[in-house]
Structure 1
Amino acid sequence: MSQMIKAGLVGVTGYTGMELARLMVHHSSMELVCATSRSEAGKTLADIYPFLNRLPLGSLVITRPDPAELARECDVVFLAVPHKTAMEIAAALLAEGVKVVDLSADFRLNDQATYEQWYATPHTHPELLAEAVYGLPELYLDKIMGARLIANPGCYPTSAILGLAPAVSAGLAESDGIVVDAKSGTTGAGRGAKVPFLFCEVHDNFRAYGLPTHRHTPEIEQEVSKLAGTPVTLSFNTHLLPIDRGILSTIYTRLTREATLDEVHALYTEFYADKPFVRVLPQKQLPETRNVRGTVFCDIGLVVDPRTNRLIILSAIDNLCRGASGQALMNANLICGLDPDEGIPMAPMMP
């Protein structure tokens, strides 16, 4: 048996940290040996996550984040901490030869000025922006496999970019006038206590938020522009669903020419034929969040409306798994020379 890869997790107490802990229980080639939190240091993982009781991982003692200790103990480290914090830890770990998968936004944007504009903070390690690989395996598999710093994509961008990629790259959808109308479960807002996300504020309610300044906008535009081969400015609109997990993005595009549903479906099927974690659904079947819950699948449905000359793309993911921790684990697998699906659940959590 080959030697286990040792992994660290900085920021174990958020929802993304919780999801990573859940996934690592089943990994046969990677072991979580360090989990850090300033507020819960000294406790075991089972103390804060009772679902880990009587499982080996539950006995792991949480420590305070220390890049030097992480570098001594780990081959790869996940950073599940807020932007600005992540860039400092990442730089320290990379200097010690440790591979990093960053779940924050600190390395997703290629342009320093764009990052500083949208996140209202200086980027203290811009020299790493050119090195960081955007961790969307369907588009950047070869680059990911040779990388030491992965910028794990945001949840909304994952859904939107995977939905748009085949049509935009083939020139079938116009590059202007794109509207991404996206809805997310409340875990996307993080685990901190905030009044707008309390149960009584969310339950039996549905509302928009972050219009038109959501920070995922430049990330989507950056990647869609690369696919289109021209600068793309799109309308990105977000809404909060009264569910725990899931994102459903309804994407409106204008066709550059007449096209049938058969033709568009064939294009998408071919584009994702060798990309097993994107499922192009049968014609006239539309995606639902429950069918991807707890998995890294992205389900895509397609509608051609000849009356308005629109291609409508529907894309569903689990915001915590495909949109964060599961995708991070796929990326860690790839940079460590493992199969991308190791430790990844394939069947959704039902009902």
Structure 2
Amino acid sequence: MQPTSDKLCLLLIGKTGSGVSASANTILGEQKFDSAKSLNSITDRCQKHTAEVSNRRVTVIDSPNLFNSTDIDLTVELKRGLVMCSSGVHAILLVFPLHTFTQQDADTIFLFKQMFGENAMKHTLVLFTHGDELQNKSISQLIRRNAELSKLTEEYGGRYHLLNNKDLNDREQVTKLLMKIQRMVSENDNSCYTLQMFETQSLDIFLKPKYLYVVSVVIVIALGCVSMENVGSWDFKAFLHACAGGVLSALAGVASGLIWTNIWKNKCRKAGKCTKSLLKNLKVLGVLCGCGAGGISVFILGPVGLTATLLRGTEGGVMAYTTMMKHCRKL
């Protein structure tokens, strides 16, 4: 389902005190969301309201602030927010107060990227608040003179807008914002940021090499513990022997990953391009081969047993996947 030009669904997100709820009210032109100056987040659940704005049917989703102090699962709540628009959100408005760029602002950007992923970048517009404090100065000049703000806006394709949330009657500022959003939507071929994209990013976080290396180490230690349990004593030699077997399985997985990475590179060269579908298929084959190589290595360096074989097969698969991801991302 492609969105029409007269309907927009917007998700607003930012840190506490940035003016997320106030901006949502300004866009709608009425006080729909609770908004007040506070050190703690006023919004603890995603809420949505719809209104006619500049001849468009605009749905605004107000979300809990990043670094929310209340006891909620932010990931779960953002998923619930994305479900509120069945086809996804046309634009994510990343809200920042117009002031000196702080460490918490940098942390906000990092957390946003971690949670929403690269797919969100092209759907995001930076929304600055506290426009009443600008005092007739040019927002573009202010951004050019501030290296952090310049970097921030450049990361999101130079898309930004300034709102004065103290003047709900200034509808021109909202009309201009919606025009910028509509332009971005058109550039994205009317595509939306969806719940599926968000869930994929959540999974990708746990599949990053630095986390998989930890998993690999845990498996090696588990092998040592299983070996000691099998011999029925705290035999340190048995522990080291089993750990060595785990390392061998890891190396077998690395070898499998490297082999399939080279296969992918060669196929890309022949095709003249690297496709995600080809990488996805070869990743599956690489992991399966890594699991097989890891399991078979039991017969080269024991101990032999069902649990040990399963663990070492898993070790081989984990390292095959990690190796492929590490090398493929460099291309």
| Same structural fold, with TM-score higher than 0.5 when normalized by the shorter chain | no
Structure possessing the higher radius of gyration over alpha carbons: 2
In terms of fraction of residues, the more helix-rich structure is 2
Instruction: Please report the TM-score for the alignment, with normalisation by the length of structure 2.
Output: 0.29
